[in-house]
Structure 1
């Protein structure tokens, strides 16, 4: 019996009670990993000084031991997870006051639907001028809405098989944080609207030309409407929006600085009770669908930029956990607010949703459907001023975002496993290390997302990709004096160390979250050179911030923003025969260049292929 067959019939959350709590590593383990990560960055004198700090920190009776005992107490009073229950949402996301747009939210771009009618992606290179919706756009939107509701039904009835690895089950909690979840701005620290699972709402929000409509997903009998029913309803919405008087574009405010948006939202609530009702309907909705009255065409860079932030943040609601944007030529993507769940979970949802193509002749059920209702806002001069100022601030962020996509088709994970004989993820990380070195002639601290989902409510920890071995590898690759065998041996050593670190992180033994917890437990008057030494902060300046989302065979690309203005944010998809990279940096930085980095990713991929083939033989690309 296959694993898939074994999982059939197992309830979605049936493994939750078996999941262990996130462990607390020993001080010795975490400080050793931390020290190892500093070796490629420091001189021997600097390293010796940090080693002394570590020795003092972990000594019997030292401050480290005191903090460790406090952390154990935090764990003992935490019902699920010492990190997630106590700090993670606030410290990683909600206390961050910068706009969500580009800085925090992510995008996952879909492949084109195989049933796209001729002309939509070929006529005028797929570009459609602003002001035009299309019949195909309506059909694809209706299909995606139906599939999103079908996935929710699987989740709500626990018919979705639980995620597992070869050796252990994974936490499914993040799936409950996708539907009906919205972040709301509060001064100093945001909050998520409380949404029980299953999410009780029955409606979706449709945004068109910055106007908001309620689309009911289900009839009075509780059955979801058919795709054909949704098509009828979407046509009604677009007919209305083409002839209506527009309200101001309130959604732009969700792209602003969080404290500014918090004040603007309170102003809206003060103006009229109607605004509370309107905001509640948007915040409670299962998800949002944005119908753009234009399309960016076949240029993937232009397409993903629109999916990332829209045209100056119009026609979006960036606070929603899940939004889907569909251009008038039918191209689509999911956009997400990062705090309730990591992008891996929505990518699994997307993969399921678009696994079935859109029907060109979707059936209409014949049931009585409710007419879509428009959501209106009452505004005043202050609201209009808030929107104008938000547009200016957000416009600068969008104009500074240098976001590009690379699709590399010469080889993929099949080659990496068969000829390179490496872990595909570790290999991809070394590609990025080499590309950075080719571009900047140095190595830098590198963050990779590591999943801790084998633990109850586990989220992530940091895989510190930069190592002494990865530094030797990139330097060796650029050396003319080393043989292919020597370079290949350096690749093997670097990928092995990376795979070991990845395994440790997935087992709850990463150092970053542990050190964060210890530092947050310092009391007034307490400090230690381990934390105050500049290298502690410097080692976490992730000039390369990276994350992989699996094979992504049904995705055209994915991405997020860099976390430092002189760095890169890179998401990658490792398909069997196609590798995809979403790269973002800032135009304002004199150090970074997304196009140059993209070209050096290609160069790194080719150089690494050459040394692997020199050692292990030519790769015969299979037809697929």
Structure 2
């Protein structure tokens, strides 16, 4: 069955009723609001819902938007601009995601420098060529619509996001960015290689349209490395993609006006299927589990000062000198789950250390040069300062917990691993900060056409009651487990509602966007409205991730956390990021509280089990 063959059968994203959204919203603010705030907001909600009131007017306007939308009222009209492209902060740390991939099964212990340049190693080149080829295999299957349609118990999922990943680039614009238009399948027959801040166009097909073999790709990469000694190096333009979006828009506009060659080079980069980087840092980044992979996580998040990446590109494959592989991508065209699934497939086949070649005549990589002037140098210097500030402020790491995993959670705790881990995160935050936080968990709406996400509001009165009980030594284990199960049930119900397009956040956003000049309502102006949607704990779960060392993204707020997690059968991995400038947060400290939360939850669960069962589960 063709990858996109069921798209027309998927329903459109629904517009929930006003009553169900407002009721859900009021329940979600209970753990954050005082009794007086809650009563005041209930009165405002009643006024908002009254017949003929502003709420009904906004609802009718939103229904008209839905009627005019071909696929999805949110995605067609507002989503990418409001969620991503109008946000002007740098993509680095703030928006882009990263995945740290496991070592190749062929990974050597010693790394020989290439003959072309000792800054690069032969295995680094071989693995980069192999992974690029594996990804190209996948792209060919996708473009011929041979990728199976993903299914759940409720039916097929939307596959549209898979069409938004290859050849796709975000272009900075004043006030609101855009995605460069790319038809599906992309007509591009090349990738871009980044080495020493220089960019090369690398064809991946021969002149008679035959795909390279791994050995051919190695030859291409080595050829480009050799060219470094022969070309006139261009300024590190890639650094500009890491800057504030308005600053990059100004710098890019200056470049394209300065010389036509600059637009030509930019368009080659923007149309490329994806980017590959060979990083030449003098010392390989430490990937040390003893420090929770802190240095490697930082490399995934922002690299060596933002060098050797093109942050606007939807997909960057980055290889360090010791062959370690990081995937880094831009978030707006598709959610990180899609490239994660693809990368999980791509890294399964080991690198062939004696890869074959076609021996075909291959066009050499073409250096993409840029014409710059003093103004461009000022822009690059400013971008470097921005990157330095971002990097120094970003506190990130990977928390590995191998005392138990999803196997234990399912078999012994008898719980959904995702909901269980959400409660662990609630408890860890409560342990560290002493109060609850508005919490975002990604809820997928892919059962609808062009569906993206809805917010699952993890924080509830039930989750808060659970956290308080866990921290109270006078509460018995039976009561703690009872409250855990109640909190999990509440979370799962919200998660189900979100997946069905009936969370409160997207609907409330749509209603507010339908406000006309001069219109407002007290419900939206209440401090609790802003507080309940200021997600100090921003979380998202992927899958088991056995081929990943860890994943991550940045915190949404300077006093919050960003947390991406992988629920493996035996090991749980949490990619955590917060800001060094905040005195109350800290990734290492949070990791400690998270481990303790997971231990405390296990202790409570096992305390209520018969002794013979406790002995049996000790082996899990």
TM-score by length of 2: 0.96
Q: Does 1:189 align with 2:176?
A: yes
Q: CA deviation at 1:425?
A: 0.4
Q: Does 1:532 align with 2:525?
A: yes
CA distance in 2, matches of 1:88, 1:193: 16
3-state SS, counterpart of residue 420 of structure 1: coil
Alpha carbons of 1:622 and 1:457: their partners in 2 closer, same or farther (altered >3 Å)? farther
3-state SS, counterpart of residue 564 of structure 2: strand
Q: Does 1:562 align with 2:555?
A: yes
8 Å CA contact 2:130–2:351 kept in 1: the answer is yes
254-263 or 362-371, which deviates more:
362-371
- Please give the residue correspondences for 1:79-118 in structure 2 after superposition, counting only pairs within 5 Å: 79-118=70-109
8 Å CA contact 2:213–2:356 kept in 1: the answer is yes
- Please give the residue correspondences for 1:247-262 in structure 2 after superposition, counting only pairs within 5 Å: 247-262=234-249
- Please give the residue correspondences for 1:172-211 in structure 2 after superposition, counting only pairs within 5 Å: 172-211=159-198
CA distance in 2, matches of 1:574, 1:558: 12
- Please give the residue correspondences for 1:342-421 in structure 2 after superposition, counting only pairs within 5 Å: 342-421=335-414
Aligned to 1:163: 150
Alpha carbons of 1:267 and 1:52: their partners in 2 closer, same or farther (altered >3 Å)? same
Alpha carbons of 1:162 and 1:608: their partners in 2 closer, same or farther (altered >3 Å)? same
1:43 pairs with 23, 34, 39, which one?
34
CA distance in 1, matches of 2:210, 2:341: 24
CA distance in 1, matches of 2:511, 2:287: 49
Aligned to 1:435: 428
Aligned to 2:512: 519
What whole-Å deviation, never above 9, does each CA across 1:339-383 have from its counterpart, x for those lacking one?
A: 000000000110111111111111111222111111100111101
What whole-Å deviation, never above 9, does each CA across 1:442-501 have from its counterpart, x for those lacking one?
A: 101001110000000000010000000000001100110111111111110011100111
CA distance in 2, matches of 1:571, 1:325: 20
8 Å CA contact 2:101–2:550 kept in 1: the answer is yes
CA distance in 2, matches of 1:144, 1:54: 54
Aligned to 2:617: 620
2:568 pairs with 569, 575, 583, which one?
575
8 Å CA contact 1:411–1:621 kept in 2: the answer is no
Q: Does 1:327 align with 2:327?
A: no
8 Å CA contact 2:443–2:455 kept in 1: the answer is yes
Q: CA deviation at 1:243?
A: 5.0
240-249 or 503-512, which deviates more:
240-249
3-state SS, counterpart of residue 608 of structure 2: helix
8 Å CA contact 2:412–2:617 kept in 1: the answer is no
2:587 pairs with 575, 594, 602, which one?
594
2:13 pairs with 10, 22, 29, which one?
22
CA distance in 1, matches of 2:109, 2:374: 47
3-state SS, counterpart of residue 518 of structure 2: coil
Q: CA deviation at 1:565?
A: 0.3
8 Å CA contact 1:131–1:293 kept in 2: the answer is no
CA distance in 2, matches of 1:208, 1:143: 17
CA distance in 1, matches of 2:363, 2:602: 58
Q: Does 1:510 align with 2:507?
A: no
Aligned to 1:126: none
CA distance in 1, matches of 2:599, 2:346: 34
3-state SS, counterpart of residue 296 of structure 1: coil
Aligned to 1:297: 286
1:240 pairs with 217, 220, 227, which one?
227
Alpha carbons of 1:317 and 1:72: their partners in 2 closer, same or farther (altered >3 Å)? same
176-185 or 161-170, which deviates more:
161-170
Q: CA deviation at 1:223?
A: 2.4
RMSD: 1.4
Q: Please list every run of 5 or more consecutive structure 2 residues that lacks an aligned counterpart in the other structure.
A: none
Q: CA deviation at 1:614?
A: 1.8
8 Å CA contact 1:562–1:585 kept in 2: the answer is yes
CA distance in 2, matches of 1:550, 1:288: 25
Q: Does 1:481 align with 2:471?
A: no
2:130 pairs with 137, 143, 155, which one?
143
3-state SS, counterpart of residue 404 of structure 1: strand
Alpha carbons of 1:439 and 1:227: their partners in 2 closer, same or farther (altered >3 Å)? same
Q: Does 1:215 align with 2:212?
A: no
CA distance in 2, matches of 1:197, 1:79: 18
8 Å CA contact 2:32–2:528 kept in 1: the answer is no
8 Å CA contact 1:109–1:557 kept in 2: the answer is yes
Q: CA deviation at 1:221?
A: 2.8
8 Å CA contact 2:89–2:244 kept in 1: the answer is yes
Aligned to 2:47: 56
8 Å CA contact 2:239–2:306 kept in 1: the answer is yes
Q: CA deviation at 1:167?
A: 2.3
Aligned to 1:3: none
8 Å CA contact 1:404–1:595 kept in 2: the answer is yes
Q: CA deviation at 1:119?
A: 2.8
541-550 or 243-252, which deviates more:
243-252
What whole-Å deviation, never above 9, does each CA across 1:197-218 have from its counterpart, x for those lacking one?
A: 0011111000000001111111
Q: CA deviation at 1:75?
A: 0.3
604-613 or 442-451, which deviates more:
604-613
CA distance in 2, matches of 1:223, 1:50: 65
Q: Does 1:69 align with 2:60?
A: yes
CA distance in 1, matches of 2:599, 2:274: 41
Q: CA deviation at 1:502?
A: 0.5
Q: Does 1:462 align with 2:455?
A: yes
Q: Does 1:337 align with 2:334?
A: no
8 Å CA contact 1:106–1:336 kept in 2: the answer is yes
Q: CA deviation at 1:280?
A: 0.5
8 Å CA contact 1:208–1:290 kept in 2: the answer is yes
Q: Runs of at least 4 residues of structure 1 off by over 2 A?
A: 220-223, 242-246, 615-623
CA distance in 2, matches of 1:56, 1:344: 40
CA distance in 1, matches of 2:195, 2:272: 16
Q: CA deviation at 1:558?
A: 0.4
Aligned length in residues: 607
3-state SS, counterpart of residue 446 of structure 2: coil
CA distance in 2, matches of 1:514, 1:119: 55
CA distance in 2, matches of 1:143, 1:621: 41
What whole-Å deviation, never above 9, does each CA across 1:297-326 have from its counterpart, x for those lacking one?
A: 333211121122111111111000111111
Aligned to 1:5: none
8 Å CA contact 1:138–1:234 kept in 2: the answer is yes
